[in-house]
Amino acid sequence: MSESIVIVGAGQAAAQLAISLRQGGHAGIIRAICDEPYLPYQRPPLSKKFLAEYRDPDSLFLRPATFWNDQNVEFELGVPAGAVDPRQHRVTLTDGRELDYGTLVLATGTSARVLPVPGIELPGVFSLRRIDDVVALRPALNDAHRVVIVGGGYIGLEVAAVVRTEGRIVTVLEAEDRVLKRVTGPATSAFFDRYHREHGVDIRLGARLTAIEGDTRASSVWLASGEMLPADLVLVAAGARANDDLAVAAGLPCQDGVLVDELARTGAPDVFAVGDCTRFPSRRYGRRLRLESVQNAIDQAKAAATTILAREARAPGKPQPYDPVPWFWSDQYDIKLQIAGLTDGYETIDTIGDPAAARFSVEYRSGGRLIAVDAVNDARAHMLSRRRIAEETATEAVS
Ligand code: FAD
CATH number at residue 304: 3.50.50.60
Closest C-alpha residue for ligand 1 atom 39: 44
3-state class (DSSP) for residue 41: strand
Question: Among 191, 213, 238, where does a domain finish?
Answer: 238
291 and 354 co-located in one domain: no
Q: Identify the burial level of 39 via C-beta atoms within 10 angstroms of its C-beta, where 0-12 means exposed, 13-18 middle and 19 or more buried.
A: buried
Domain CATH code at residue 374: 3.30.390.30
Domain boundary among 210, 238, 266: 238
> Is 306 a member of any domain?
yes
Q: Are residues 204 and 303 in the same domain?
A: no
**Helices 294-311/12-23 angle, 10° precision:** 40
Ligand 1 midpoint to CA 346 (Å): 28
Domain boundaries, position 179: 114-238
**What residue's CA is closest to ligand 1, atom 23?**
293
Could you tell me the sign of the dihedral formed by the alpha carbons of 364, 303, 273, 263, in that order? Answer: negative
Question: Do 56 and 194 fall into the same domain?
Answer: no
- The reported pLDDT for the residue numbered 319 is 82
Same domain, 225 and 124: yes
Question: Are 113 and 240 spatial neighbours (Cβ–Cβ below 8 Å)?
Answer: yes
Q: Give the pLDDT of the chain (399 residues) as one tens digit per residue.
A: 458 999 999 999 999 999 999 999 999 999 999 999 999 999 999 999 999 998 899 999 999 999 999 999 999 999 999 999 999 999 999 999 999 999 999 999 999 999 999 999 999 999 999 999 999 999 999 999 999 999 999 999 999 999 999 999 999 999 999 999 999 999 999 999 999 999 999 999 999 999 999 999 999 999 999 999 999 999 999 999 999 999 999 999 999 999 999 999 999 999 999 999 999 999 999 999 999 999 999 999 999 999 999 988 765 667 889 999 999 999 999 999 999 999 999 999 999 999 999 999 999 999 999 999 999 999 999 999 999 999 999 854 433
Q: What is the pTM of this model?
A: 0.96
The most distant pair of C-alpha atoms in the chain lies apart, rounded to whole Å, by 66
386 and 340 Cβ atoms separated by less than 8 Å: yes
Strands 278-282 and 258-259: parallel
Ligand 1 atom with least separation from CA of 294: 25
| Atom from ligand 1 closest to the CA of residue 327 | 25
Residues with CB under 6 A from ligand 1: 8-14, 33-36, 43-44, 46-47, 80-81, 107-110, 128-129, 155, 243, 246, 275-277, 292-295, 297, 328-330
Q: How many domains are contained in the chain?
A: 3
Backbone CA torsion sign across 327, 330, 331, 336 = negative
Q: Are residues 99 and 138 both part of a single domain?
A: no
Residue 85 host element (H or E): strand 81-85
**Residue 316 domain flag:** no
Element spanning 164, H or E:
helix 154-165
Quick one: pLDDT at residue 312?
Answer: 83
Same-domain pairing of 203 and 245:
no
Taking CA atoms, 147 is separated from 60, 214, 330, in Å, by 26, 14, 21
317 domain residue, yes or no: no
